[in-house]
Amino acid sequence: MNRLLFLTQNGDCITLHKTMAPQRGSNSYSSYRSSAGSMCSQNDAFASNSSRIDIAFGALYLLIYIGLFCTTVVRFFTSRKKRTALKRWFLFGVSIIFMIIEIVISIIMETLYECGIASERITNRSAISVYWLYNLGRYALFVIILLPICRRLHQQARNANRLILIAHSICLALLGLLLICAVALETKIIDGLYGSDRDYTVYTLMSPERDLHTALYVFEVIAMLMAAASMIVALLRAPHLRKGTLGPSLAVLIISCLGLPLTSLAGFVDSAYRAIRTQSDVDYTNRSQEAQTFIANLFYSCAFLSALLVAGSRQLADDSYKVTPRASMQGPVYAPQGGHPIR
């Protein structure tokens, strides 16, 4: 069969089989189900290892993301102060919901395409929504790490968190601007190639789009390097942050928040700047993209879970950072007879 490149949720392309055009089933549900099943058999759906790996990875991370979403919901409803909890967990919900929706769309469209029910044009146009959702879900996670988590850590370390807040806000604003420009340009290219009226002049935008995406992933790495450095400084200045479960959670968060953009950058550069001339080049690109998709989703899951644990840690919930060093050096003040020592 012929093959085509289809944009995945991480901004790259995977190779799918080009199947027959969709056929119309009967009006009844049972007839449609039987027709759809026979179409999948006729079109030899998921015959390639690549398509089976893609659908397996998608199903695996869909279950993981649903589990992370349920954990976020439980954290919210078990919080005593709902207004404060809504501010704390809102972006977590936005990020994971976007990721769940984009995986569901990817699985559905890939299945319909493999079975010959969805056409090539519809399948590729669905990549627009997948790409927006994936990038916005990642961006929401970056916002969580750079703003509320880093700010609260530096409050505990009694550091000048206002300067950190300003620097991180500027970084996020620039990152958001790059993201919108890159995704909008990608949307324009897909719409021009697979819209109702094809516009082949969009081929001239592919080189600028490639360079813009490279700049986006490089800036994501810079942003997460800034976040990692900020968290490490807070850990060094506040030893109590390294105790309990907060220390390991922060270690996992630092590693995974760096691994996520580095994986995206390496995978994009490897696929976008590689000259594909032979079938072995195509096979290598497919395997590389499958590995990149798996690793990027793994880093996102680890970063999300560790950020969830850090944000909900009791060590960050108290106001111990407000105690002055002079007050902390004083000895216990004893109550009258029969009482208990108090501070």
CATH number at residue 295: 1.20.1070
Q: Is residue 52 part of a domain?
A: yes
Query: What value does the mean pLDDT of the chain take?
Result: 82
Alpha carbons 237 and 153: distance in angstroms, whole number: 10
Q: Is residue 258 part of a domain?
A: yes
Selection from 122, 119, 125, 124 nearest residue 20 by Cα: 119
| Long-range CB contacts (within 8 A, 24+) of 76-80 | none
One-letter amino acid at 231 equals M
325 belongs to a structural domain = no
Confidence of residue 37 (pLDDT cuts 50, 70, 90): low
Q: Residue 2 pLDDT more than 80?
A: no
Retrieve residue 126's tokens: 């669905």
> Is residue 110 domain-resident?
yes
Strand partners, 17: 3
Dist. CA 322–CA 328, nearest whole Å: 10
124 pLDDT exceeds 70? yes
pLDDT of residue 50: 79
Q: How far apart are CA 143 and CA 321, in angstroms?
A: 23
Number of neighbouring beta carbons within 10 Å of residue 330: 8
Torsion angles phi and psi, residue 26, rounded to 5: -80, 175
In whole angstroms, what is the distance from residue 3 CA to residue 58 CA?
20
Distance CA 25, CA 63 (A): 31
Would 330 be classed as within a structural domain? no
Helix (H) or strand (E) segment spanning residue 326: helix 325-328
Strands, E assignment, the chain:
3-7, 13-17
> Number of structural domains, the chain?
1
Non-local (6+) Cβ contacts of 196 within 8 A are: none
Q: What is the pTM of this model?
A: 0.82
pLDDT at residue 268 greater than cutoff 70: yes
How far is it, in rounded angstroms, from Cα 307 to Cα 256? 10
Distance CA(29)–CA(286), nearest Å, equals: 36
Average of pLDDT values for 9-33?
A: 39
d(CA 159, CA 216): 30
Q: What percent of the chain has pLDDT over 70?
A: 80
Which domain covers residue 298, as residue numbers?
A: 3-17+44-314
285 lies in some domain: yes
**Is there a domain that residue 27 lies in?**
no
Task: Please check the confidence at residue 32 and state whether its pLDDT lies above 70.
Answer: no
Evaluate whether residue 282 is within a structural domain. Answer: yes
CB 150 within 8 A of CB 230: yes
Two tokens, residue 306 = 């560790």
Quick one: CA torsion of 291, 293, 294, 297, rounded to 10 degrees? 150
Instruction: For residue 195, give the DSSP letter.
Output: S
Bigger pLDDT: 307 or 321? 307
Residue with tokens 């919108």: 180
